[in-house]
Structure 1
Amino acid sequence: MLLVCMLSLVTFAACSTKKETTGKEKTLEKVRVGEVTHSLFYAPLYVALANGYFKEEGLDVDLQTTAGGDKTMTALLSNGIDIALVGSETTIYVYSQGAKDPVINFAQLTQTDGTFLVSRKKLDSFNWSDLKGKVFLGQRKGGMPQMAGEYVLKKYGIDPKKDLTLIQNVEFANIANAFASGTGEFVQLFEPTASIFEKEGKGYIVASFGKESGKVPYTSFMAKESYLKKNSATAEKFTRAIYKAQQWVDTHSAKEIAAAVTPYFKDTPADIMEKVIDRYKTQNSYATNPILDTDEWNNLQSIMKEAGELPKEVGHDVLVNTAIAEKVIGK
């Protein structure tokens, strides 16, 4: 009888442990994240998912692609998502419209433009003046890709309104298809689409807007001010997971990173993934920590002002929260 009782206690203990373990799994806090596009440009995000960094922090991240800055911000403002990964310029637009609950940037992911100039024809050599008189299929008006593109064109003495035919009324998600169908002689594309087009002979990468436009908080994680106040611990856990991924990406090769994020790009060939990631690493597109500093914020507004899209200048301390990131990295 004593032996039976002991065995029963062991069985009960084992069941209790299983329930406790299962309970812990069920207590993962769900966080809904909307990414403006699905691109290897956001490799650290997928590394955080693949390596389990979010789960280590007790978070269950539900990632969805919200395709375009306007749609992403609409989803955030309407509580369709909790956190948005989109260009920091969107927070300025929302603030300038008198938002009572402004959107705050709290963790930077990329620090350069992520687009490339693709030519329909293969060029033996390229000069930015080659764009003059041509049809250029650009990105959405007022979006960071388009503003960075115009900034670079002006840098090389090209007036985007006079020196070429600029098309910017195509939906973000349809730009690549429009170019593949014959629209434009040059196009501004994200990766891996640009490299895939090059491999298929549909276009040829001739320049990088990221190299030309300098450091800028191109894409960052943001949330409504009310969300951050109510869920400060969640935001900190989220940022810590991103920081772990940023450090991992910074210390690993393009081949290792490509292998890690493969589950999120099953239709992209391994050689393309490695080439794209190496290109982004080489031009320092991936931020190595989540802090969005003042210089980058000011450069963002300079680019917006140059494009005629800056409603009004907004102080770094108004729409950027660095306290969370600073706490995470121990600064």
Structure 2
Amino acid sequence: MKKWFKVGFSVLVIAFLIIPLAACNNEEVQTVKIAEVTHSIFYAPQYVALEKGFFEEEGLNVELTTTPGGDKVMTALLSDGADIGLVGSETSIYVSTQGSDDPVINFAQLTQTDGTFLVSRDKIDNFSWDQLKGSTFLGQRKGGMPQMVGEFVLKKHGIDPQEDLELIQNIDFANISSAFASGTGDFVQLFEPQASVFEQEGRGHIVASFGTESGHVPYTTFMAKESFINDNKEAVEKFTRAIYKAQQWVESNSAKDVAEAIQPHFSDTDIELIEMVVDRYKSQGSFATNPVLDEEEWNNLQDIMDEAGELPARVDHGTLVNTEIAESVME
């Protein structure tokens, strides 16, 4: 009887020790589901946050899913299939102007320029934008930020996209590079690393950067439904703080260091190519150095959308952007 009592008492003691510990862990660690619009080196700070344990330091377990297409990311957010979306800010404007009792709010900016490059089929030693006149230009999907920025830059250089060249926009994003490789177009608008891959293979030559030409815009931001932010304010703050840590780390470390940090997310890409792409994006200031989406950038975005004929209505910065969270984690 005494032996049974000792064993039973020991089990009870262990159980009482384990249960509070488990409860404590459940309170400290919160799972956050992210839907990213594509998987790209362009989002390097996000992968740095994952690999360097910045989310873990904040007590977050992040589940990342690639959800191709801005419309699909929005669907995931609105249906609670994802907590946070990483996508272009224009999508929040589209949703807002369609009418919503629970608007999608931009709370942390990740990239602050366009991430595409103009690639020429032929090598051009002294490129000028007017060389696109009379050419066939393989652009991006109509209504998306790459296409809108592309047309904005062309018009900035006195080129009418509808009159001065043959503009192709009916090819799916995933098939644009293969279409160019098979002979379609004299010029193409491409993301990295595909642009550099084509250059290495001799299939094309990078002649200009749309990001440099278009200036700062909230190209890719983290956003969530207003209700999620209100109900999970602490978790959103922790998430934003982790992103800010990663942004600062990327800013203060070399392209080689960043490439090595994010390589696990791009195991099929040579480390030298990852470094080249990171360096190109760092050099043109594509990675935001803090998560604040300011009003000037927001207005520049709407100007670009308006120029492309894709802005349904202007929306005030304060309506769809929350800067308080980003500003608080930077203090």
Partner of 2:54: 53
Partner of 2:3: none
For residues 32 and 183 of structure 2, what CA distance do their matches in structure 1 show?
40
Partner of 1:300: 301
> Which deviations, in whole Å up to 9, do the C-alpha atoms of 1:215-259 show, x marking residues without a partner?
111110001111111111111111011000001001000000000
Partner of 1:42: 43
Matched, 1:137 2:146: no
Quote the offset at 1:319 in angstroms.
0.4
Partner of 1:105: 106
For residues 231 and 57 of structure 1, what CA distance do their matches in structure 2 show?
14
Quote the offset at 1:27 in angstroms.
5.8
Partner of 2:124: 123
Matched, 1:245 2:220: no
Quote the offset at 1:180 in angstroms.
2.0
> Which deviations, in whole Å up to 9, do the C-alpha atoms of 1:151-198 show, x marking residues without a partner?
110011000011111111222222222222222221111111111121
Return 23-32 or 246-255, whichever deviates more.
23-32
Q: Counterpart of 2:31 in 1: which secondary structure? A: strand
Quote the offset at 1:17 in angstroms.
7.2
For residues 26 and 275 of structure 1, what CA distance do their matches in structure 2 show?
42
Q: Counterpart of 1:20 in structure 2: which amino acid?
A: L
> Which deviations, in whole Å up to 9, do the C-alpha atoms of 1:76-128 show, x marking residues without a partner?
22222111111101111111111221111000001111110111222222111
Return 74-83 or 222-231, whichever deviates more.
74-83
| 8 Å Cα contact 1:67/1:173 also seen in 2 | no
> Which deviations, in whole Å up to 9, do the C-alpha atoms of 1:6-47 show, x marking residues without a partner?
xx98xx77x957993797389632111111111111100000
After TM superposition, the score normalised by the length of structure 2 is 0.92
Matched, 1:281 2:275: no
| 8 Å Cα contact 1:115/1:210 also seen in 2 | yes
Q: Counterpart of 2:267 in structure 1: which amino acid?
A: K
For residues 284 and 93 of structure 1, what CA distance do their matches in structure 2 show?
27
> Which deviations, in whole Å up to 9, do the C-alpha atoms of 1:269-318 show, x marking residues without a partner?
11111111111111111111100001111111111111111111110000
Q: Counterpart of 1:150 in 2: which secondary structure? A: helix
Query: What is the percentage of aligned positions where both structures have the same residue?
Result: 65
For residues 107 and 139 of structure 2, what CA distance do their matches in structure 1 show?
29
Matched, 1:160 2:152: no
Q: Counterpart of 1:94 in 2: which secondary structure? A: helix
Q: Cα RMSD between the aligned structures?
A: 2.4
Partner of 1:327: 328
Q: 1:18 to 1:263 in 2, by over 3 A?
A: farther
Q: Counterpart of 1:169 in 2: which secondary structure? A: coil
Q: Counterpart of 2:158 in structure 1: which amino acid?
A: G
Q: Counterpart of 2:258 in 1: which secondary structure? A: helix
> Which deviations, in whole Å up to 9, do the C-alpha atoms of 1:129-166 show, x marking residues without a partner?
11111111111111111111111100110000111111
Q: How does 1:104-253 map to 2 (within 5 A)?
A: 104-253=105-254
Q: 1:204 to 1:22 in 2, by over 3 A?
A: farther
Pairs aligned (count): 325
Q: Counterpart of 1:262 in structure 2: which amino acid?
A: Q
Partner of 1:72: 73
For residues 18 and 232 of structure 1, what CA distance do their matches in structure 2 show?
27
Q: Counterpart of 1:126 in 2: which secondary structure? A: coil
